[in-house]
Structure 1
């Protein structure tokens, strides 16, 4: 996901302006899309997924229950209520966000050390609800009021994105990002991109008709059109390995800050609740409408550091795919949904605004840390010169 500031800045620049060229070498889109990730592992290998390190009293109590008890202790439930009541900056609170992320992860791949029955454990769902309400309240505060007009929903979405003034991470990474900053950025984004389309895909059964078909069309590309090596999560994993990062699913969770989990938790909240199906659709649409031009810049930033199309394929793929997906998402998916259920227009806009706002949280976190000369990851390790 890329911010509207990323997309807006890209309108004044072409790929030729941004991408250094190697004399005598012509890279065609058709050369890029079929190759898959460089340095590939065994595609489809599930690997291990263990509980992350606790980040406070709530996650410590919760994780202890998940591995050692059949249900939640009263202490854990009380701690969740205390954390939800007291946290002011919910989006950047490590204890709250990692706890919510672990609750959601039970609906994805789960954890090797947590029994499967926990996925639908009533007490855990109750605790998750407490955290969700705090997260949602913080998200509403972050987004602010969103007036709904009589304009077609695709135009309202375009206006919302155009009005976003969040910082542009892609512009920074294209022109200034160091190799170490790239590793930090990829660590943060790995929390989402190694899942790729999964959070949004949960919303497919909640839709019908043209809106459902449009979402499936978009998601099919996310999953490589049936080719495992071309799944976007696999392309991102190859990018990580090329930059000497552990690309195992969940392997870098302990390094990622709260903002990384808050972003994915927002997607999971929308897609796992039928009540928020409109927001899930709006969120996905904002992703598709704001990623093509920033992807050019991210690719350019990697090329500036000496990487070639074998490494940049993840971003190169999004330059083409999301330019097509933009209209499918805004007109076919959102337009059809709102035409059938006009009462969901406000939720569609809320989901899109939430996507932009969460990108802003991540950008402020990373750019603020780098400007201060420190790491944007947990532990505040100093950056390499």
Structure 2
């Protein structure tokens, strides 16, 4: 994956994503700019599903310009004013839905929210439990494809928060990210480990290789991270999101590893989750005390956003889990196309 070319644009899933794709294929310096049609006016957006395929793909495409971009897209689009204005409208609709569906009261503490994450039933009914106990190799491969839109950029969305922190919280946050990026060793970067997992599972390892067949429920968690990382006002939410990610990762990864052991899956697949069981347990303690604790001490106004980041993480991950289990219980693929 290291020297892989930039990805190509996917197919549109509705008028919003079609509008974005049409413009990204055009000249960003053309005088016409972006004409915001009725489809993206604030009033019209109230009729659009904020978690649906069309809006989430459109938003994902806009955000991707700040990561690796697309092979056929001029790099000038990253800061094209018209596209930024369009992205702003999409974000406002997405943010409004999140704040409606993930309410946070001023009395909630980050400590309590993190403690709640640590309490898990050994007999849950989510996707990781199913994969541990009865998952098939085909279902694992579906999960790998679903998560590829995140794991092949793992740690990148959270890295946007680094320049927005200071002091001890910043140093500790960087320490966690340093591990995610392989501790100075390119072959240990978690993105590379996931590419090795995909190869071992006989899946495409190219960046965004499965974007065309990944449902909105798998795009939303990545868009949430990009939203938090790219907006300084959400620095607390980005910290809360990373804390939630690291706290829930070891038990979830342990369940996935157990299922892979049961299936005698290729070692690179097991290694990816084994690494997360071991490393993320350490990261949890750093984030609880040295990042979250110090940020609240120095910027107490961030605590509500930290809690929001934790709760929003749970909300979108639960939605993905529900999507996957609904499909599997019905005997369908969790993807919107064939592997």
Checking the alignment, whether the CA contact within 8 Å between 2:157 and 2:229 is kept in structure 1 is yes
The equivalent residue for 1:234 is: 192
Q: Secondary structure at 1:293's aligned position in 2?
A: helix
226, 231, 244: which one aligns with 1:273? 231
The equivalent residue for 2:115 is: 158
Following the alignment from structure 1 to structure 2, what is the Cα–Cα distance between the partners of residues 276 and 163?
A: 27
1:349 and 2:307 are equivalent in the alignment? yes
1:376/1:132 CA distance change after superposition, 3 Å:
same
Following the alignment from structure 1 to structure 2, what is the Cα–Cα distance between the partners of residues 237 and 67?
A: 28
**Highest relative contact order (Cα 8 Å, sep 6+), 1 or 2?**
1
Residues 327-342 of structure 1 correspond to what in structure 2 (within 5 A)? Answer: 327-342=285-300
The equivalent residue for 1:120 is: 79
Q: Secondary structure at 2:212's aligned position in 1?
A: coil
Deviations 1:137-156 (A, max 9, x none): 1212332334534x6x3344
Residues 241-280 of structure 1 correspond to what in structure 2 (within 5 A)? Answer: 241-280=199-238
Moved more, 161-170 or 347-356: 161-170
Following the alignment from structure 1 to structure 2, what is the Cα–Cα distance between the partners of residues 166 and 340?
A: 38
Residue 126 of structure 1 deviates from its aligned partner by 0.7
Say how many residue pairs are matched.
335
276, 283, 286: which one aligns with 2:241? 283
The equivalent residue for 1:311 is: 269
Checking the alignment, whether the CA contact within 8 Å between 2:169 and 2:294 is kept in structure 1 is yes
The equivalent residue for 2:156 is: 198
Residues 28-47 of structure 1 correspond to what in structure 2 (within 5 A)? Answer: 44-47=2-5
Residues 1-385 of structure 1 correspond to what in structure 2 (within 5 A)? Answer: 44-70=2-28, 75-81=35-41, 84-87=45-48, 89-91=49-51, 93-149=52-108, 153-159=110-116, 162=119, 168-379=126-337
Name the TM-score, length of structure 2 as normaliser: 0.93
Following the alignment from structure 2 to structure 1, what is the Cα–Cα distance between the partners of residues 106 and 301?
A: 13
Residue 374 of structure 1 deviates from its aligned partner by 1.1
Checking the alignment, whether the CA contact within 8 Å between 2:56 and 2:216 is kept in structure 1 is yes
Residue 77 of structure 1 deviates from its aligned partner by 4.4
TM superposition outliers: structure 1 runs of 4+ over 6 Å: 163-166
Q: Secondary structure at 1:107's aligned position in 2?
A: coil
Checking the alignment, whether the CA contact within 8 Å between 2:113 and 2:310 is kept in structure 1 is no
Unaligned 5+ residue runs, structure 2? none
Residue 57 of structure 1 deviates from its aligned partner by 1.2
Deviations 1:13-53 (A, max 9, x none): xxxxxxxxxxxxxxxxxxxxxxxxxxxxxx62132311111
Checking the alignment, whether the CA contact within 8 Å between 1:160 and 1:353 is kept in structure 2 is no
Following the alignment from structure 1 to structure 2, what is the Cα–Cα distance between the partners of residues 296 and 161?
A: 14
1:174/1:163 CA distance change after superposition, 3 Å:
closer
Residue 69 of structure 1 deviates from its aligned partner by 3.5
Following the alignment from structure 2 to structure 1, what is the Cα–Cα distance between the partners of residues 254 and 124?
A: 18
1:120/1:167 CA distance change after superposition, 3 Å:
farther
Aligned-residue Cα RMSD (Å) equals 2.1
Following the alignment from structure 2 to structure 1, what is the Cα–Cα distance between the partners of residues 124 and 312?
A: 12
1:74/1:310 CA distance change after superposition, 3 Å:
closer
Following the alignment from structure 2 to structure 1, what is the Cα–Cα distance between the partners of residues 120 and 253?
A: 20
Following the alignment from structure 1 to structure 2, what is the Cα–Cα distance between the partners of residues 138 and 155?
A: 24
Q: Secondary structure at 1:291's aligned position in 2?
A: helix
1:145/1:161 CA distance change after superposition, 3 Å:
farther
Q: Secondary structure at 1:290's aligned position in 2?
A: helix
Following the alignment from structure 1 to structure 2, what is the Cα–Cα distance between the partners of residues 327 and 200?
A: 17
1:306/1:83 CA distance change after superposition, 3 Å:
farther
Name the TM-score, length of structure 1 as normaliser: 0.82
